[in-house]
Structure 1
């Protein structure tokens, strides 16, 4: 009876008052959370595929793949007149610049060669625009399907701009929809919408419909992973939540690494879209094992479904539940519904300095632009190595995520370390101009890829820190609105950033120079935020003492502690020897051997308690 009563009291005391009942039952992390986390993470892989598939659906044309038919020159020209001119170009850069035009001098020389007549060109260096471009590529891409070259080349960037526009609209729609639709159900709607609109994106035969459905698919993708993020934040807490939020970016990188393998099996851009979008059918089937957000249910007074979820969580995680959990959930739901609503304008109420809020918005915009443009511009390094280059960027991004996680968990000044990393990466990228101006062979592409990977690595580390630590700038009630604001601003910048890829017409190194400048500038601003926000839980690392310093200072400390207390001096020599062996101090205290009296008394009390415990147990026996 006594054992049963004590067991009942232990179980009853397992639910202390004034504790979040959801966190108390779920715990910070467990087997039940792991199942849902992995399934939500898997949903990010097809989303990353759809975002980055422009690399393989719109590759840059190579020499010999396009044939220029110039406009009528002095009344006649032949289709063969431009052939030697195309093959006379030595580099892809010259080819990409001049592919849309034909030289009058070349036409004149070929006319004489073919017809054996003298032709006096009045303007030998006249540039004639192409009247028609013939495509001789084996891979059917967006460029060949919709003739996106010459004056329409900018439409390739417009395609990606509409994807960014869809992400912006999807984030805003998800925030509004979560007021009425549960995250789990909204996530399913996003999956179904991505499957439907993604397949139509690859099957339509007009460019206008293509960018329209690409925008809609991006909306569905954003709704899906925004709802999934809401679930992740609800079922985790503490350090486990930091790990989950940071490592969620890792699956974007896994998607980049797997995308080249997917694209190898498809020789048509529309087939690639269909394959990427149809892969979500597997995740729709796995959706049954994704749980809903219990706090969302309680906030909307749905106590019974929340109770069912918490009982499932306690069963899988082998945790104890309060006997009055249904009552506690009802009270907690009433408290959540009574919380005042926070408006967007309250973020700017000067509780946090507005200058700092402007800085964090600027940092998010720059980081998102770099993340997107670095990936898109990998096409400019050459079609032959595009699969290897994409996988290399994916691995660099993975390494950046882990470095960012290390900064968050084990450094005090993670804003400063991340800013330093971005500054170094941005300034080192300028060295790409020192590479010899040779043909775009594998060696040259590999050297340029090093600088792209360095920027990608640093940018990925900064995004990991931004995603996890931006919310600390405001109170917990305002964090959702602040994250919505900075993410939406970053996506707004993404709408215009793909146009930077068109600057390769001026010089192929101009875009990477611009994004390197953006990188070290926002790295400087991150260093400025370091003055106001840092990890106070992490102890500052001090100077490492030498063995001689340790022996000298530790002897002084033990001598003072053994002589300053009359309690200790009254014990036997054996207890004093045990005292000298078990006493421990921190490295900081070892350096500051001039302790005050309070610290000495506290240490003596703790020592006396540990010494008395063995004696009391002996008397009880």
Structure 2
């Protein structure tokens, strides 16, 4: 038989069935070709996570003795020594943060007497304070706080810095959605990389606070454009269960970035150098960008058949897939179909095909989840600077575990919204126990006990976000899923613009922010349980009762006896085929429990299984 005859015999089997996506038929759901692109896009998320979380290390809270207050009423050189000793005498960081912004009038009067040996009428109360005119920074690490004097009444500007990062993420998502109509995802991803390198370096090199937050916002825009385009490619080149795994595990590389960030920060004693190091790391990914593929369906939608054909041939080569001989013709037809599809607009999401109450629920859930995802990480600074590296890495590991738990909910449970909501409710309510910890100094033991509650919230919230990222689109029809995801993610980022201001509440009490985010957590967990009434995994069967070995033997013997006497087809076979039938027959556990109700149906289904089992055997005899 010639090679041409072999090709002709395989031609019918290699051709896609009517209604099958030709791109999915050539690429498959997952393969070696997809793996290369997926890993490179995943790596791009690590510098993005660094840039989002670097505020932990570029703006650490000052410790006792690092700041010295100069009063507005005295020309400071005589006050410095007394004020510095008063700072060292404070027992807690909370008192220190209050006292660093004001000087006691009584202390000033005593210092004056000590220096000038004159009587002084110190009638003022020890609680009367005077504002500091100037604060000296005596720290080895040059941070945002020391560079721009972000203390006292200006302390809120640290939160404003992160708010502008969230604003950039919001604008970047909307910009990427519009740009993808005209710019290919691969090229848009490259533009985002280059923009992050340029703007990220300027963020660390500028010498004014206004320019810093401006370029931080621009860098956030570029980061969001980059990973949005990458996510578009991921969903386009994968399908089925592989797409679920890829989309869910993409969150894992955010966590890897958090674990690696403390290791990077220990090499830099200047916040500017840390920004430059994080932003410049993308140069390696720019060089690796040549091996990132484009989105084939985007190319076909733009009537660019030739690049799409070249890409699919490469995919078939690496994945060892069969290629139809009329692939170019089929791609031309498919491209015409894609361009002829009407474009959906945002208002169609609210056309009552999905209940508006459910859409409101999912928007609120996404807003709360996004706030917790970022604020839990940023607030880890409040546990103290001494353990900040270990605490950040611990949150990263908790987030990794949460991603895998969320993936388990998606793949192996029917009610994934209910399980994620229950986990969030339990974590939120358990976090209230942090108030029962005994009051003590902020030593390593106390910080470790508080960190347990932060990790619990981070773990539960990460599992919930994994479920939301993968399953939110199921609420609407396929053509509306992109717009729904854009809507909920944009709403979550809008909430992030204002959420960093929660960090300023530590002035009132250091446990107040974690109490607020715990409340937000269990509230949105209840909202996820409401969604559970309408959406669940129908492909996952409900787990029934596990039979004992004796029950299995008894019921299986009954089924075999009934089928061997009731089926004339089976009884007409030879003894050898009947033995083969009894060895290869299989039933589900549900059928094993319901032998008294579906006798005829069971025998028919078992006969079909038997025929499938014995056909290969008979064909071997004919050969």
Range into which the TM-score falls when normalised by the shorter chain: over 0.9
User: 2:349 aligns to what?
Assistant: 347
User: 2:537 aligns to what?
Assistant: 535
Unaligned runs of 5+ in 1: none
User: 2:135 aligns to what?
Assistant: 133
User: 1:362 aligns to what?
Assistant: 364
Unaligned runs of 5+ in 2: none
Deviations along 1:537-580, whole A, 9 cap, x unmatched? 11211001112222222222222222223444455655544443
1:228 pairs with one of 215, 227, 230: 230
User: 1:501 aligns to what?
Assistant: 503
Deviation of 1:598 (Å): 3.4
User: 1:10 aligns to what?
Assistant: 10
User: 1:441 aligns to what?
Assistant: 443
Question: What TM-score, normalized to structure 2?
Answer: 0.96
Greater mean deviation of Cα atoms: 307-316 or 137-146 = 307-316
User: 1:31 aligns to what?
Assistant: 32
CA distance in 2, matches of 1:257, 1:282: 20
Greater mean deviation of Cα atoms: 32-41 or 580-589 = 580-589
Change (3 A) 1:609 1:134: closer
CA distance in 2, matches of 1:401, 1:266: 31
Deviation of 1:253 (Å): 0.6
2:616 aligned with 1:601: no
User: 1:63 aligns to what?
Assistant: 64
Deviation of 1:599 (Å): 3.4
CA distance in 2, matches of 1:459, 1:144: 33
User: 1:54 aligns to what?
Assistant: 55
Change (3 A) 1:489 1:501: same
CA RMSD of aligned residues (A): 1.8
User: 2:79 aligns to what?
Assistant: 78
Change (3 A) 1:12 1:511: same
1:250 pairs with one of 242, 252, 256: 252
CA distance in 2, matches of 1:115, 1:513: 50
CA distance in 1, matches of 2:294, 2:600: 55
Deviations along 1:148-196, whole A, 9 cap, x unmatched? 0000000000000000000000000000011111111111111111111
User: 2:110 aligns to what?
Assistant: 109
Deviations along 1:197-244, whole A, 9 cap, x unmatched? 001000100000000000000000000111111111111111111111
Deviation of 1:610 (Å): 4.2
Deviation of 1:596 (Å): 4.1
Change (3 A) 1:2 1:248: same
Greater mean deviation of Cα atoms: 284-293 or 119-128 = 119-128
CA distance in 2, matches of 1:419, 1:44: 27
Change (3 A) 1:608 1:8: closer
Give matches, 1:392-403, under 5 Å.
392-403=394-405
Change (3 A) 1:608 1:63: closer
2:185 aligned with 1:186: no
User: 1:119 aligns to what?
Assistant: 120
Greater mean deviation of Cα atoms: 119-128 or 34-43 = 119-128
Please say if residues 11 and 320 of structure 1, whose CA atoms lie closer than 8 Å, have aligned partners that are also in contact.
no
User: 1:199 aligns to what?
Assistant: 201
CA distance in 2, matches of 1:410, 1:505: 45
Greater mean deviation of Cα atoms: 245-254 or 68-77 = 68-77
User: 2:589 aligns to what?
Assistant: 587
Change (3 A) 1:191 1:88: same
Deviations along 1:265-297, whole A, 9 cap, x unmatched? 110000111111111111111111111111101
User: 2:520 aligns to what?
Assistant: 518
Change (3 A) 1:20 1:435: same
2:377 pairs with one of 375, 378, 385: 375
Please say if residues 77 and 107 of structure 1, whose CA atoms lie closer than 8 Å, have aligned partners that are also in contact.
no
2:25 aligned with 1:21: no
CA distance in 1, matches of 2:556, 2:571: 19
CA distance in 1, matches of 2:578, 2:302: 63
CA distance in 1, matches of 2:466, 2:612: 46
CA distance in 1, matches of 2:289, 2:578: 64
CA distance in 2, matches of 1:399, 1:74: 56
Deviation of 1:9 (Å): 2.6
CA distance in 2, matches of 1:593, 1:232: 46
Give matches, 1:455-470, under 5 Å.
455-470=457-472
User: 1:565 aligns to what?
Assistant: 567
* SS of aligned partner of 1:544: coil
Change (3 A) 1:206 1:606: closer
2:335 pairs with one of 333, 339, 356: 333
Corresponding residue pairs, total? 620
CA distance in 1, matches of 2:614, 2:213: 77
CA distance in 1, matches of 2:338, 2:616: 46
CA distance in 1, matches of 2:610, 2:394: 57
Please say if residues 12 and 322 of structure 1, whose CA atoms lie closer than 8 Å, have aligned partners that are also in contact.
no
User: 1:315 aligns to what?
Assistant: 317
Deviation of 1:514 (Å): 0.4
Deviation of 1:117 (Å): 3.9
* SS of aligned partner of 1:128: strand
Deviations along 1:86-124, whole A, 9 cap, x unmatched? 111001121122221111222233334444444332321
Please say if residues 101 and 132 of structure 2, whose CA atoms lie closer than 8 Å, have aligned partners that are also in contact.
yes
* SS of aligned partner of 1:341: coil
* SS of aligned partner of 1:13: helix
Deviation of 1:421 (Å): 0.7
